Copies of this chain bind each other. A is one copy, B any other.
Amino acid sequence: MTTNRSDGMETRRSLLDAAATIFAAKGFHDTRIVDICRVSGGANMAAVNYHFGSKEKLYVEAWRHAFERSMEAYPPDGGVLPNAPVEDRLRGQILALFHRIMDPTNLDFDIAHKEMANPTGLLSEIMRRSIDPLRAMLVKVVREFLGTHATEEQVQLCEMSIHAQCFFQLLHRRQRKCTPADSPPPVSPASEVGIDALADHIVRFNLAGLRECRRQCAKQVKCQIKGKE
């Protein structure tokens, strides 16, 4: 540590960065605050308490920090204008989600994943407030894509399929970079595929699924109409 007594924000920031990194890598319980301090550049352990009050509050702040960074880097609409065709907007959102997850400097999803695997309950509220609106955006464009005939259930299911495939990359991404000594098992050889090919596949695969679903919806409606006649 440079023992810079003048700029508390600097220390705070570096602690936050270090915390996000380690919480993302190990989750809340497996993270030692002494490790955070080391990574942060040699801050004193008590500094965490001084700046954040407790390990738990640091955890929440670290997530907020990571989430804000992530949102700045990848606007959820993928840069597609609101008046673009629905398929383009859908593609935009899928790619935004995908790239946000794939970018190794984005730590919010990693932290969130660890939190889901080993819930501490500390992020419950804040994650809901942050993530739900994002999913709502995706749900909305999926609903528009499927058309008015689609039931709410069908919309939710399709959104789930898209989300699942993007989210799944989290597990693979980590295995590509951090494999230090005691390596976790590579779950799939698909991790060798290039990132663009992967993005391409996900978009195409899901659009196909969605179109099939749309056809299905239309058919159901026809049947119902016939049935009523």
- The answer to whether A221 has its CB under 8 Å from any CB of chain B is no
Give, as a whole number of angstroms, the nearest-CB distance from A110 to chain B.
9
State the CA gap A157–B113 with chains docked (Å): 22
- The answer to whether A176 has its CB under 8 Å from any CB of chain B is no
Residues 186-210 (chain A) with a chain B CB within 8 angstroms:
187-190, 192-193, 197-198, 201-202, 204-209
Instruction: Report chain B residues within 8 Å CB of A125.
Output: 185
Residues 172-193 (chain A) with a chain B CB within 8 angstroms:
182-185, 187-190, 192-193
State the CA gap A164–B167 with chains docked (Å): 8
State the CA gap A184–B116 with chains docked (Å): 7
- The answer to whether A105 has its CB under 8 Å from any CB of chain B is no
Among candidates B116, B163, B205, B211, residue contacting A157 with C-beta atoms closer than 8 Å: B205
- The answer to whether A171 has its CB under 8 Å from any CB of chain B is yes
State the CA gap A70–B190 with chains docked (Å): 25
CB pair B206–A188 under 8 Å, yes or no, is: no
Residue in chain B with minimal CB distance to A194: B153
State the CA gap A29–B26 with chains docked (Å): 10
Q: Mark A57-96, 1 if CB is under 8 A from B, else 0.
A: 0000000000000000000000000000000000000000
CB pair B159–A190 under 8 Å, yes or no, is: yes
Among candidates B113, B156, B216, residue contacting A193 with C-beta atoms closer than 8 Å: B156
Interface centre among A124, A131, A160, A206 (most CB of B within 10 A): A160
Give, as a whole number of angstroms, the nearest-CB distance from A156 to chain B.
4
Instruction: Report chain B residues within 8 Å CB of A27.
Output: 117-118
State the CA gap A116–B79 with chains docked (Å): 33
Give, as a whole number of angstroms, the nearest-CB distance from A52 to chain B.
17
- The answer to whether A114 has its CB under 8 Å from any CB of chain B is yes
Binding site for B on A (CB under 8 A): 26-27, 29-30, 113-121, 123-125, 127-128, 131-132, 135, 153-154, 156-161, 163-165, 167-168, 171, 182-185, 187-190, 192-193, 197-198, 201-202, 204-209, 211-213, 216
Q: A125-B185, A135-B187, A153-B197 are in contact. List 9 more A-B contacts (CB 8 A).
A: A114-B117, A121-B183, A123-B185, A124-B182, A157-B193, A157-B198, A160-B190, A165-B165, A208-B212
